[in-house]
Amino acid sequence: MNTFRTVALMTLLTLLLVGAGSLVGGRSGALFALIMAGVMNLGSYWFSDKIVIAMYRGKEVTSGTLYEVVQEICQRNGLVMPRVFILPQPTPNAFATGRNPKHAVVAATEGILQILTREELMGVMAHEMSHVKHRDILIGSIVATIAGAISYLSHMAQWAMIFGGGRDDEDGNPLAMILMMILAPIAAMLVQMAVSRSREYEADRGGAKLCGNPYYLANALRKLEMANRRMPMQQVNEATAHMFIVSPLSGGGLKSLFSTHPPVEERVRRLEAMTSL
C-alpha cells in the first residue's frame, strides 16, 4: 500500500508540473524547468554521501558495536555492506544516504550509541538499510527534482506577470497564472512531504523484517522521539532533516503537521501491529 501511495503521489506531482508548465510556457516551459531542477539535484544525488557526512563531520568506523550491528544485518539478509560513520553529536539519531546500495552510507550519532540497547540499535540500522535496499535516496531525488521544477515555474510566472509576458496565445489566463504562482509550490511541498512519510512507513516495515523483530525498532523510536524533544540537534541543515530516522528539528503543534516524518506514535502502532517475524 505504501509503495502504491508513493507511485500515486509521484504521478500527481508530475501532473502538477505539466499543468503548471502549460500555464507559464507550454511544454517547453515545463521541460526547461525540469532540466534546470534536474541539473541542480543531480549533484546532490551523485555526491550526497560525501556532502552530508562532511556537513556533520562524520568519522568512518570499521569496528565496534555500530559496525558489527550493520554487518550482522547485511550478512543475515544478503545485503551489500555500506560504509559506516559515527557523527560527533550528543542527540541520538541516524540516517542513510548514497546513490545506490554499492555507494551507500549509514551513520549514527554518538548519542544513539549511549541510549539504545544492541537490539534497539539493530532495529534502527535495519530501518536505514531498508532505505538503502529500496533506493529511497533515488526516489527522494526524483521527487525533489520535480518539486524544484515547479518552484522554478512559479518564479517564471512571477517574472512573466511583472514584465507583461507569459503565454502569447489567447487562452492565457492571468488569474490562473496568479493561482499557480501561489498554490503550485505549496501543493508540491505537500506531495513531497507525503512521499517522504510514505517511505518512512515502508522503511519501518522493511527494517522490522530485516532485523526479525518489530519491537526492536518500536522501542528505539520511543526513546529517540523523547530524546530529540528534550535535546534537539544543534546546527541542523533543514535540507537534510528528512534523512534522519526521527526529525532532528525542534517544534510541535502546527509545525509538526508539515514535517517530513510521520508521527512516531503512528509508526510505533504500526510496528506493534505486525505479527512476529
Q: What residues act catalytically?
A: 128
| 85, 53 Cβ separation under 8 angstroms | yes
In sequence order, what DSSP letters do the residues of 141-191 get, joined into one string?
A: HHHHHHHHHHHHHHHHHHHHHHTT-S--STT--HHHHHHHHHHHHHHHHHH
Provide the grid cell at 143: 521527487
Cβ-based burial of 241 (10 A; exposed 0-12, middle 13-18, buried ≥19): middle
The reply, when asked if residue 261 is annotated as ligand binding, is: no
Query: DSSP H helical segments within the chain, as ranges?
Result: 2-24, 26-46, 48-55, 65-77, 110-115, 118-133, 136-162, 174-211, 214-230, 254-257, 264-273
User: Within 10 A of 103 (CB to CB), how many other CB atoms are there?
Assistant: 18
Return contacts of 250-259, CB within 8 angstroms, 24+ apart: 258/189, 258/193, 259/193
Question: At 94, which amino acid appears?
Answer: A
Give SS3 for 5.
helix
User: Within 10 A of 275 (CB to CB), how many other CB atoms are there?
Assistant: 5
Question: At 16, which amino acid appears?
Answer: L
| 121, 112 Cβ separation under 8 angstroms | yes
Q: At residue 244, what are phi and psi to the nearest 5 degrees?
A: -75, 155
Annotated binding site for Zn(2+): 127, 131, 200
